[in-house]
Homo-oligomer: A and B are copies of this chain.
């Protein structure tokens, strides 16, 4: 276990490095008012801390910087969450006080304020539609061969697809089909809908509709789920302001990681309670080995709907960012809860 003095020194080093991005020497620390030891003493402690794996030395004659383990200890045991300022809170309140929104707008605004308040890159993952329930199906013919299929879920998510209408199917028949589907499928998890169409109601469909085969093809199109654009990023260029990312190749790797939605989604696949902090190589992907990600899941009615997060250098202002992510994820949960009360 670390002694109090060691913790004090580690604290000072992490704080200092987060602020200045430069290795810290023993003299710098001994000069701090809250530390009453000579540089030689500090040096001894620093050597011990390095041996224990909490500090690193870029080269022999440089000061120390926190290692990943050091950051981890800092986050777990030293850090006290930083209170948001009045101004920050009022900016968030202002945003979430807006009355009506398209869904994408909420996520976009959330991403914007996250990166705005932190000066890092924000990530907002939209809703996991999978567990949503079907609320309504609609098909609107555009012309004799094309229609728009619209699927609405109980959380207000709207999906739409342009589909081909089989030759010789009159509009009235489509209306009848839509009514039929609504009566049979509403309230069902979206994931099961397709399955249900084939298994349970195909018989009935066949009885009631002449052009069964063609209609089923059309439905296939309508419910064909494509991997969704769920990811919103904001402030990607903030990364480049960090002194550790003045190198184009590093930045490129990170941006490529962020641009690949699949990777991002995989990274945030499991919802978590509270705020999660992943430091450096705790993120499996090589590209973001020098980054930390702070994230939290937001909910409606206890169901995780998506994730918000911040990505920045391991030298991140953990205290501030954790507070902001926590606050906003809770406010977002509150807002969504207000909008989509779980009524039948």
Contact = CB atoms under 8 A, between A and B. Distances in A.
Across the A-B interface, give the 7 residue pairs with the lowest CB-CB distance, nearest first.
Answer: A143-B343, A158-B160, A240-B252, A102-B161, A136-B140, A100-B221, A156-B162
A148 interface: yes
Interface stretch (A81-89, A243-251, A278-286): A243-251
B161 A101 contact: yes
A164 interface: yes
Contact of A148 (B152, B226, B251, B341): B152
A125 interface: no
A264 interface: no
A229 interface: yes
Contact of A161 (B100, B164, B221): B100
Interface residues of A, number: 54
Interface of A: 99-105, 108, 135-136, 138, 140, 142-146, 148, 150, 152, 154-156, 158-164, 221, 224, 226, 229, 236-237, 240-241, 245-249, 251-252, 255-256, 259, 339-344
Contact of A340 (B101, B105, B143, B156): B143
- Copies of this subunit: 2
Contacts of A156: 142, 146, 148, 162
Interface secondary structure of A, over-half rule: mixed
Contacts of A252: 237, 240-241
A4 to B, nearest CB: 41
B158 A108 contact: no
Contact of A248 (B108, B248, B256): B248
